Amino acid sequence: MSTTLDPIDFLERAVGIPSNEGVEEMREFLCETLVEHGVEPRVDGAGNVLASRGEGLPHTLLNTHIDTVSPHVPFDRAGEVIRGRGSCDAKGPLAAMLAAFLGCEPDGRITLAVTPDEETLSTGAHHLSLEFDRCIVGEPTDLDVCIAAKGRFQGTLTVRGKNAHAAEPETGTNAISGAGRVLVALESFDADADPHPDLGGPTLTPTIIEGGTATNQVPAGCRITLDRRSVPPETTGEFADALGAHLESHVPDVDAEFRFTERETPFLEAFETDPGEPVVEALRAAGAGDPRPFTAATEASYFANEAPTVVFGPGVLADAEGAVAHGDREYVRIERVRWAAEVLEGALARLH
């Protein structure tokens, strides 16, 4: 049975399958494709599709995801461009990765691990328990080798006050006024932060503010949602401790408490890989672009704790006209998908 796969044939069918509200049909198509090409996949308890070729060491992990964001954008092809939801994030990278996985002759072991919910909670990636020597994560990098990415944390800063009649505001404590002072204090939170050489500085962005229950009452509570984009080596715990100390120093008389948003899985933390690692050099030698950071958070942060990890694939997050990935004009260029498959196969040959 032939292991040769045309990545464009696969991609056209994949983009036509909605996977924004459920991945069952897309997962079935992926498994059927693997079986048709002589590889028996398995689906674990978290919904990951796992397939391996070869045995022994070294062990290379190839990872990407089959879920997409809403709304679904139907498949369309115009000449050498494929449009539709998932065309670049991340079914284009999946098509290239699958073609390379099936086309290479492994000297050692190669495992393909395709996760079901990267766009939400990453329960699939968190569930994976694999030992490997390096990892390539498929995302739209425009064929550059991305060796670092910011992390993303989210939480709520609750400011507490005391209710009173708005006609006598001095008898209460206005939580919204306190929140205003907190917002000013947040502007200086990263004033002394050292920028990362590739990723730049971290960011802390208030994204939602809610408070008050009546138009004639001093509010006793106000909530500020914060988005944190971290850079190495900051962890979630270090961020929370630093934020608490900063507020205590700048607004000591405001009752404010930060808590991370509850979720089943760890947040995607920042990661970085040495540009001299063999996985980076192999991709570069096979035709990939220069090493650079990736501007979005990815499941690569889960794998980077285990072994050197890079992000690579066809497509772009945005172009001169605006958003591409997650946008209503999502697309990928066919020649970039084919090139990505060739680069990946060439890199795998050099690594084994």
Architecture of domain 7-150+270-351: 3-Layer(aba) Sandwich (3.40)
Residue 269 has pLDDT above 50, yes or no: yes
| CB atoms near residue 58 (< 10 Å) | 17
Residues whose CB is less than 8 angstroms from the CB of residue 60 and which lie 6 or more positions away in sequence, other chains included = 108, 109, 110, 111, 132, 133, 134, 135, 136, 279, 348, 351, 352
The two tokens of residue 271 are: 């990661």
Contact 123, 117 (CB under 8 A): yes
What mean pLDDT, rounded, does the chain reach?
96
Residue 231's SS3 state is: coil
Question: What pLDDT is recorded for position 2?
Answer: 44
pLDDT band at 336 (very low <50, low <70, confident <90, very high): very high
Hey, which CATH number is domain 151-260, 3.40.50.720, 3.10.300.10, 3.30.70.360, 3.40.630.30? 3.30.70.360
What is the per-residue DSSP string for 188-245? TTTTTPPPBTTTB--EEEEEEEEE-S-TTEE-SEEEEEEEEEE-TT--HHHHHHHHHH
**Does the annotation mark 118 as catalytic?**
yes
The two tokens of residue 111 are: 């495992």
Residue 1 has pLDDT above 70, yes or no: no
Residue 248's SS3 state is: helix
| CATH 3.40.630.10 placement within the chain | 7-150+270-351
Write down the catalytic residue from 12, 118, 234, 299. 118
| Tens of pLDDT, residues 56-77 | 999 999 999 999 999 999 999 9
Let me know how long the chain is: 352
pTM for this prediction: 0.88
Amino acid at 67: D
